[in-house]
Amino acid sequence: MSSYTRVALVTGANKGIGFAIARDLCREFPGDVVLTARDEARGRAAVQQLQAEGLSPRFHQLDIDDLQSIRAARDFLRKEYGGLNVLVNNAGIAFQTDDPTPFDIQAEVTLKTNFFATRNVCNELLPIVKPHGRVVNVSSSQGSQALENCSEDLQEKFRCETLTEEDLVDLMKKFVEDTKNEVHEREGWPSSAYGVSKLGVTVLSRILARRLEEKRKADRILLNACCPGWVKTDLGGAHASRTVEEGAETPVYLALLPPDATEPHGQLVCDKVVQNW
């Protein structure tokens, strides 16, 4: 048996759903919880807030847009814990609906963080996830909506069980490129940059889960995407129906799946229920 303390890491945990996930994990996860944030001051303030509640998260800076920052977090986890037991990819962004930023810029910026940066975190941290580890990618049912609004040709590609990570990356790049050339609708894409970015996260989760199944089956790692529901946060807005505590429920459920669990794996989970894809 390893002598290392178990460890869970949450990205974008200084506020919103990520903060609520970190709080729940501090209460329920048998090990250390690393609250990460791109901004050190905001992250440390969040840690202090949890400390005031009698909880003991650790802090590590992590800007998922910055590969060096991801690698520094990976090195920290390797050195202090010999790896990672639970990874919650929560960090994400969305432009507000009335934001005047041109659509192609919104597409580029949103996909950069929500899809490409989340993928970088997965690629850097998955190799150090320990046996029985749990990986939760916070996606959105808006990704499913975006899939429904894609052309039949694109839907078929995204649903294809043999789509590779490289194919998916090419499709996500094509979406951004198509918005720049103002041909995205003609090319079968929906007009939601956020939706396409989360479609990418859900499909990426399916691909990575499949790869774990092929390459590390004996490790019994479970990796899933989830939707937290519509949650009152800076991103979700004040009219959203759920509190951050409610939004954290499904991600935390997936993060704490018991060691003998064999499913869900590679699924999109909403309200603790696997969704049809």
Buried b (16+ CB within 10 A) or exposed e, 185-220: eebbbbebbbbbbbbbbbbbbbbbbbebeeeeeeee
Q: Any bridge partners for residue 227, and if so which?
A: 270
Q: Which of 39, 148, 213, 271 binds ligand NAP (CB under 6 A)?
A: 39
Site map (CB under 6 A) of ligand NAP, residues 70-109, x = contact: --------------------xxxxx---------------
Residue 119, H or E segment: helix 118-125
CA geometry: angle at 231 spanning 228 and 233, to 5°? 125
Do the beta carbons of residue 9 and residue 36 sit within 8 Å?
yes
The DSSP output letter for 163 is -
Minimum distance, C-beta of residue 148 to ligand NAP, in the bound complex (Å): 16
Minimum distance, C-beta of residue 74 to ligand NAP, in the bound complex (Å): 15
Residues of span 107-136 touching ligand NAP by CB under 6 A:
113, 117
Residues of span 146-205 touching ligand NAP by CB under 6 A:
none
Residue 74, H or E segment: helix 67-81
Minimum distance, C-beta of residue 84 to ligand NAP, in the bound complex (Å): 17
Spatial distance between the Cα atoms of 204 and 84, rounded to a whole number of angstroms = 20
Catalytic residue among 4, 81, 194, 253: 194
Q: Does 253 participate in catalysis according to the annotation?
A: no
Q: Which of 6, 15, 119, 265 binds ligand NAP (CB under 6 A)?
A: 15
Question: Of 8-16, 124-132, 152-160, 166-174, which segment contacts ligand NAP by CB under 6 A?
Answer: 8-16
List residues near ligand NAP by CB under 6 A.
11-12, 14-18, 37-39, 42, 62-65, 90-94, 113, 117, 138, 140, 227-228, 230-231, 233-236, 240
Active site residues: 194
